[in-house]
Structure 1
């Protein structure tokens, strides 16, 4: 290529812009990149001069924001940077070998079910693929697939962010969790009507909280929430101590809480609609060969089935 045909900007400048956009401040980008704030600021100014457009608005007290042109440039910069990384990765492996990073997003309560077989099996088959994990609720995944920050994610189908490509892995209905010495532990399926006067330990993380409350509202009921916690195991631990009941979707093989108290899972009657667990990926970016291989592998696994 003739030197005159080369772009006036550099990948380094683009990477600084993307980092600054993600962090929201020049100082934050500098800390993440391990460079000085002046180096980031100079790179942004040089990029703006090269493109002949203002990309950012930088205010000392308010941080950094993107102009409308800056938003478009950041989106294109992410794609260019991803392509450059892909070029580098493709040259590091033997023909047919998968090499390079995959960032996997996973809803926190799904992580104990999804990640162990996925990381062990796929990792053993493709040891030169770097699997990075981001545990995040649906709201935190918003925009990350389209931006390229996350390559693939495993989430509940009730609140999928944006309009990604998707495939269902399995589905499970919610169930009631009670302490082993609770009278409901031996009585078979439980009616929601029998729970409204009891204390609910609510898993208060979207979409789990919305889903649980919707089960009651669909029957004209309002549960009595005693505690709200954001951890799946915190629900099981409080239930194990007899502080209330829980409503959960995932079904661990271990019947004991962290503290060793036994808990019992009971079905809900009448039956409630199952919750789907999906694998999702960007609709606007073609997945890399290694990401596609991970999706195919995930779809081939023998996931849990309703009891």
Structure 2
């Protein structure tokens, strides 16, 4: 039994003529006749008495048609509800965002987003990538901001921008004499990275082409903060990799060098469960972010993308 078959019997009841009913449903008369017969065979009753002129529903057919009309009304209402939900820009939404993105992205787009969408309330949590995936799957959060690709079948990824990795150096470091850096020139033993569990750590190590990280600078420091690593570098301890949005021109420009093309980048995406329907919220978040970030981050060409894991 299909909604289409129910539409056919309702139309046939209304027009009492196969050709007219078929024209109303934008199908051929033989196709409509065949589908009505298939429905009758499936439910085991005759809906129409074809011996009467004009065509008449049987007694039980009248009851079937009444219920068919009810089902079609409810189906239409369901579609209207879903369309409203997709387009609605109101309500509360829970967002998970990775710590290496939150302090740099949120201040840029959040004021404009809240100003333009006063009926939306966002509950934002800093979570690691594995936590965001898990909570999207169990419905604890609605939307995630993290680095992709994830290669998770239940998760839908909407790429938003491509953020380059920059080399962050102490003053007077020999690499500051270079205009552009080659990734193969880095010494993994000098690179400061985040603690285990942060996707940014794995990306930094991938750029260094170092599967395991072992410190040879006199100490091990388990940090979850890019700002803490930058502070160490500023005081002459090693060097590190930072995402471009974390670089403040007034304070950091003397410490950074870009990599040669193709630049290593992280693909920053909005992620949702594959069943999530609030497309309007996703699109509005994406549009707002793309309005405020530097235009060069919107280009995904001539870059090297890294998986988060």
TM-score grouping bracket, smaller chain normalisation: 0.5 to 0.7
1:183-229 per-residue CA deviation (whole Å, 9 max, x = no partner) reads 322322223443327622112342111111122227x9977564442
2:248 aligns with 254
Tell me which of 275, 287, 302 is aligned to 1:297. Answer: 287
1:108 alignment partner, SS class: coil
Larger fraction in helix? 2
Q: Distance in 1 between matches of 2:202 and 2:148?
A: 13
Aligned residues: 209
Which of 1 and 2 has greater Rg?
Answer: 2
Write out per-residue CA displacement over residues 115-137 of structure 1, whole angstroms, 9 at most, x where no aligned residue: 12332112111223111101111
1:179 is aligned to 2:170: yes
CA distance in 1, matches of 2:262, 2:158: 24
Residue 231 of structure 1 corresponds to which residue in structure 2?
A: 225
User: Does residue 212 of structure 1 match 2:204?
Assistant: yes
**Cα offsets for 1:54-95 (capped at 9, x unmatched):** xxxxxxxxxxxxxxxxxxxxxxxxxxxxxxxxx9xx9xxxxx
* 1:278 to partner: Cα distance: 0.7
The answer to whether residue 234 in structure 2 is matched with residue 240 in structure 1 is yes
Unaligned 5+ segments in structure 1 are: 1-86, 91-95
- Which has the higher relative contact order, 1 or 2, with Cα contacts under 8 A spaced 6 or more apart? 2
> Scaled by the length of structure 2, what TM-score is found?
0.57
- Distance in 2 between residues matched to 1:206 and 1:159, nearest whole Å: 14
Structure-2 change in CA distance of 1:201 and 1:163 (3 Å):
same
With over 3 angstroms needed to count, the CA separation of the structure-2 counterparts of 1:268 and 1:103, relative to structure 1, is same
**Does the CA contact (< 8 Å) of 1:165 and 1:280 recur in 2?**
yes
RMSD: 3.3
Whole-angstrom distance in 1 between the partners of 2:225 and 2:115 = 30
| Runs of 4+ off more than 6 Å | 220-223
Structure 2: 5+ residue runs without aligned partners? 1-80, 300-309
Q: Secondary structure at the match of 2:159?
A: strand
